[in-house]
Each structure stands twice: as structure tokens, then as C-alpha cells.
Amino acid sequence: MTTVDLLALAQRVEALHALPNHLPAPVDAEETIDLLLTALEQGLVRAAIRDERDEWAAVPWVKRGILAGFRVGRLVDQSVLGDAGVSRPFTFFDKHTYPTRALTLNDGIRVVPGGSSIRRGAFVARGVVCMPPMFINVGAYVGAGTMIDSHALIGSCAQVGERVHVSAAAQIGGVLEPVNASPVVIEDDVVVGGNCGVYEGTVVRARAVLAAGVVLTRGTPVYDLVNERVIRASATEVLQIPAGAVVVPGARQVSSAWGTAQGLSLQTPVIVKYRDERTDVATALEGWLR
């Protein structure tokens, strides 16, 4: 698909999305959605891109196209039949425009058996390891050499870089609406510990380490002990974890007199160091698992 084709595709998506709900979809609507999902799967387009200032921004027309795909789709039985069409070991009902991705051995993706799913419209690079059960949603991007561990979620339009480990039960939230909102971004060589949650457009820069149980949202203040500062999102900027930061769960005392008297504290992430050789040794095991 050429650049000219992509420009034409963007125009078709915008026209489809702008169509009032009470009007029937045009005859080429399903073809438009299929072209968009194929382009996403091939990595030709992405739901978010990094600009010349090294900042991440959503690609609104791509997200509009994904939303239009749900409107165009009709609910169908997409269950996987067993031998002779008798049993149905994997049953689900969804819009016909969003089945699971059809993978082959040539895709070079290691999908271990046990209930994992990758939805259409997700880019998953060669060398990615998917441990069961895990889920990668439409519009997501997962770079080469990344491991998605058991019970982990890669949400709609989330952007995950290369050689990332998303540990067991970690949640990488997606942001499909509003279309201008940047989805969660996990850059290259990040380690996301077990039971972590990264939501609301948070950007985790390259080589950062999130210890087990860290939760990051737009309203989460992050205390940087190394540089003695508090990192926050603003009205116009998302929360960003600096490159190489090692973040652990922490707590801070509540400010009210009554809460202080009760000994109450609030959960808050804390940057305790920046990645060094000792940290790299502690995370080196990931390479042996691929």
C-alpha cells in the first residue's frame, strides 16, 4: 500500500465516519474498514505516532476508522467449531468486522496455547511471545521481541515498543475515545511488572522499569527521589515516566488533620533510582524466555 493509497484511505475513513447514524453505510464501507485493519496489522499506519519533538500524538483518522468499523459491523457468531462441527470449545459473539487475527507460522509470533486472542487491526511484530491467557485489542501496536505475559491486556490503540516485558496481570490501557487523546505508550526495553496498571495516555519512556503493583493514571503524581521533584500530568500534557526510571509503589501522608491523626496515606509511585547495570542484570532473565 503506497502513501497515495493511505491518503485515499484516510479520506474514505473520514467520509464514512462523518456519515449520520440514521443513513445506511455506503456499499464500500466494509472494504474501507478491511483496508484500514490490514494497514494497521502491517504497521503501515498507527493509532499514535512520535513527532519531531519526540512527543506522542494520536492519529485521529485512524481511531475514527476503528470506531466506524464497530458501527458498520453486525453481530455474528464467531465461535470456533470443534471436530465435525459438534463441540464449541471457544465461543464468542462480536461484530463481524472485528474477528480475531488469522495468524500463520510465517508471522513469526509465538502464541502459547491456553486462551489468548489477538483482535484484527492489531500490529504484532515477529518475535513477540504471547503467554496464555492474554489479549491484544484492535489498533494496538506491539514491537519485535516483546513478551505479553499471562492475564495481561494490551488495550485498544496502545503502543508497545520492542523488547518490552508486560508481566503477568499487567494492564496497558487503551484510549479509543476521544479520538484526539493519545493512547498509552510503552517505549522500547521497558519492564512492566506484574499487576501494574498504565492508563489514560501515560507515556513510559525507554528502558524504564515499573515494579510490580505500580499504577499510573493521568491524575497520579510521581515522586522522583533522585531529582527531588514531583512529575504530574497537566491540562495539555499526559503523565510521562522518564527514560530509565525505576518506579516502585509508595505512599504519601494525607494532608488533612483528621486523616493524619488516623495515620492514613495515599498510594503513589516513587522513582527510587535510574536504571544501571544492577537493574539490567535483574531483568536479563527476560531474554532467556524468548
Distances (CA, A) of 207 to 193, 242, 243, 246: 13, 9, 6, 9
pLDDT of residue 210: 96
Domains by residue range for the chain, with CATH? 3-75 (1.10.166.10)
pLDDT at site 105:
95
SS3 112: coil
The number of CA neighbours under 13 Å toward the Cβ of 184 is 25
What's residue 280's pLDDT? 73
- Strand, coil or helix: what is 252? strand
Q: Which residues contact 137 (CB under 8 A, 6 or more apart)?
A: 119, 122, 153, 154, 155, 156, 157, 158, 174
Q: What is the pLDDT of residues 190-228, one digit of tens each?
A: 999 999 999 999 999 999 999 999 999 999 999 999 999
Element (H, E) at 35: helix 29-41
Count Cβ atoms within 10 A of the Cβ of residue 24 and give its class: 0-12 exposed, 13-18 middle, 19 or more buried: exposed
Instruction: Calculate Rg over the CA atoms of the chain.
Output: 21
List average pLDDT for each run of 10 residues in the chain, which is 290 residues long: 79 95 91 96 96 94 96 89 58 91 94 93 97 97 97 98 97 92 95 97 97 95 97 94 97 92 94 86 55
Please choose, from the candidates 41, 100, 99, 103, the residue with its C-alpha nearest in 3D space to the C-alpha of residue 75. 99
